[in-house]
Structure formats: structure tokens, C-alpha cells
Structure 1
Amino acid sequence: MNPSDVLLLPGWQNSTEGHWQTEWEQAHGYRRVEQHDWMAPKRGDWSARLEEVVADAPGPVVLAAHSLGCILVAWWAAHSRHAHKVRGALLVAPGDVEQPDVAALIHGWSPIARQALPFPAIVVASSDDPYCTLARARALADGWGARCVDVGAHGHLNAASGLGLWPQGHALLHSLMAEHND
């Protein structure tokens, strides 16, 4: 796969400098899916944008999502005509938009789609994520038919977590790519 076949799906407010997604984009040439409004995300708009990018991809893609991006992947996969083009998804620190504190910040993203994803997926969770408990991340992974990896206490696995290029996450991404290479 080409680096541009790896699609980075940031969450609410995008991924800033120091975030592993930004580091991967700069170091590996992965492609960020740009959304119309990072500050007031609308599920329908974000889903339509992902559908457009995947449909336009010349071949299969791999998704690397963070936070609200994980919730987007589940919703999109339940409604997409192009989910068959996804080889796998790395779903890092899903944001629990059904949790009252999070729902108050991000409207219109509930309920979370809980069907089994039509492609292999790994959910990566932190034991002290303020936006999703480890138990909840495991329950989401179960519903999505994904493997769940507990990486310990690293907060929301974002720029504040200080992961840099995050080799552990990159190895998980590569395991999805290698597992399903033709």
C-alpha cells in the first residue's frame, strides 16, 4: 500500500502539532481527511466527506482514527456503499459521545453505531482516558468485532499524552496492513 492509502481521521478540533496523527502525516506521508468544520462537527457532513474520500481512492485504504474519528468510522461503515474498500481500521481512544459530559460538548453524534464492522479493526484504549472509560472502550470494541488493546495510563492518547511518533500504535497499524495484504 502507498502511504496515501492510509487515511487519518482526527476527532473534534482536529489533531494539532505533537499529536501522533500529525506526526504520522509528516513522517510517513499518510493523508488526513479534512472536514468542513472541526469545531462544530456534524455527523452527516463528516460521514459524507469520508464516503467521498474512500469512494475516490484508487484502491483499498486503511483508516487510522482518533476519538470522534472512531465514532465516525462506526457510523460511516453502517451506511457506506464503499466500506468494502477498507482493509482495516485503527480506532484510537474512541470518544464516548453517549457520556453526558461529552454529549454536552458534541451534539448529534448519539447513538453510537454498534454493529460489527465489515473490516478488521483494533481499538486502542487508555486506562485513564477522561472521554471514555476502559470498560466502555472494551464494550465498543466487542460491538464492533474489534480487538481491544489497553496501552495503560496515557490520557486521551492525544498531543497532551506526549506519544510523538508513537511506535506502539504504528506497529498496530502495520499489523492490520500486513494481516490483509494481497
Structure 2
Amino acid sequence: MPRRPQRSVPVVLVPGWEGSEEGHWQRWLAGQLTEAGREVHWADLGDVDDPSLDRWLSGLRATLAPLPADGFDLVAHSLGAVLWLHHAADPGDSPRPARVALVSPPSPGTTIEAIAEFFPPPIDIDAVRRAADGTVLVAGDDDPYLPEGIAAAYATPLKIATTVVPGGAHLNTAAGFGEWPAVLDWCRRDNLAFY
């Protein structure tokens, strides 16, 4: 059986609050993709320890601006996934990605003061569909920042395909997600499904 060609488009990584610390799967993913000759862009959010919706949106849009429309993928984690929903609601003239993976977005009802201006995020089916060729959600079934679960919080209201990771918690370093082959496999394949 002939081998399928691997995906080769650039990948934009959008970290969450406090960034993707050393050992985080986004850092591992960036290394794996770079080693394979893929172009990787980190969204320039400025100070990830001090979230600002306006500054983060501006930084995300500046990162996307030089990329080819429908010619890149975007992988966002945690507050970065919520940032994407804000961007999708008002993308301006930013190029749109081919595919988006939103990993572990916190609950729309989050009340953490330091990130309050991000909540509630826009839950707009049409905007999300216009913002990319395809979007998928990924979350643990026991994420402490998403007590109602990914289906109730985002998947059902947005009608988005979803992958639930048993015991995945917040899919971060604390939950043991340093090397995460599933996200690398997603970046290598052309189809939208995560698993």
C-alpha cells in the first residue's frame, strides 16, 4: 500500500494563560514539526502571564497576517482556544486557516478574575464556520476548568466535532501531556478528525 503524503502547511500555535511552559505538548509539537521541516509560528501574545483580550487579539492577527489564506493550520490550548472564538467572531481581514484544533477551552462560565474579560466567549456557529475550513474540539472528560464538559460548554452550542480524552484533565503538563503523539498525528494528516 503506498504511503500517503504528509501534510506540509505551516502551523500556528496559540498558547493559553501563563503560556506553554517547558515540557508542555505545544513546545514538544513545535520541536517535532520543525524537525520534520514544517514552518511553525507562535502567536505573539506578549505577556502570557498578564492576559489582555485586546493585546492578545492584536498579536494573534499580526501572527496570521503574512500567512496564506486556507494554507495553514492552527492549534490553540486553553485560553488560547477562547481567544480564537473571539477572533472568529471578528476576524477582520486576517487570512483564515484550513483547520483549527481548539484544545481544552475553559468553561464559558469561568469566573477567574485575571481572565474575566475573555468570558463569556462568543458562541457563534456561523462565525466559527466562516473562520476556518474546519474546526475540531479536544478536551479531557475530567477537566477541572470545564466542569460541565466539552459537549455542553462548546460542542453542542457550536455543532463542532469533538474528541474527549478519558482522564485527560486540562491536557497540560500537570496532566502528563508533554509528548502527545495524537496532536502530532493530527498535524500530519489532511482530515479534520482528531483521532
Q: TM-score range by the shorter chain?
A: 0.7 to 0.9
Q: Is the Cα–Cα contact under 8 Å of residues 65 and 95 in structure 2 kept in the other structure? A: no
Q: Is the 8 A contact 1:96 1:132 kept in 2?
A: yes
Match of 2:113 in 1: 104
SS of residue in 2 equivalent to 1:107: helix
Identify the match of residue 80 of structure 2 among 60, 65, 69.
69
Superposition map of 1:1-182 within 5 A:
2=8, 5-29=10-34, 30-59=40-69, 60-82=71-93, 85-96=96-107, 98-100=109-111, 103-116=112-125, 117=128, 118=130, 119=132, 120-133=134-147, 135-175=149-189, 178-179=190-191
Percent pairwise identity: 28
Unaligned ranges ≥5, structure 2: 1-6, 35-39
Q: Is the 8 A contact 1:11 1:65 kept in 2?
A: yes
Letter of the aligned partner of 2:159 in structure 1? G
Deviations 1:51-100 (A, max 9, x none): 11112224522110000010011110110124552111111110225223
Provide the rounded CA distance (Å) in 1 between the counterparts of 2:44 and 2:152: 28
Q: Does the aligned pair in 2 maintain the 1:62–1:87 contact within 8 Å? A: yes
Contact 1:121 1:145 in 2 (8 A): no
- Whichever structure has more helix as a proportion of its residues is 1
- Cα deviation for residue 137 of structure 1 reads 4.7
Aligned length: 175
Whole-Å Cα distance in 1 between the matches of residues 144 and 169 of structure 2? 7
Larger Rg over CA atoms: 2
**Which blocks of at least 5 consecutive residues in structure 1 are unaligned?**
none
Looking at structure 2, the residues matched to 10 and 108 of structure 1 have their Cα atoms a distance apart, in angstroms, of 17
Rate the CA distance shift 1:179–1:154 in 2: closer, same or farther, 3 A: closer
Matched-pair contact (CA < 8 Å) for 2:143–2:169: yes
Q: Deviations over 1:99-152 (max 9, x none)?
A: 23xx32313112211012122111101011111135345431233332111111
CA distance in 2: counterparts of 1:19 and 1:33, whole angstroms: 16
TM-score normalized by structure 2?
0.80
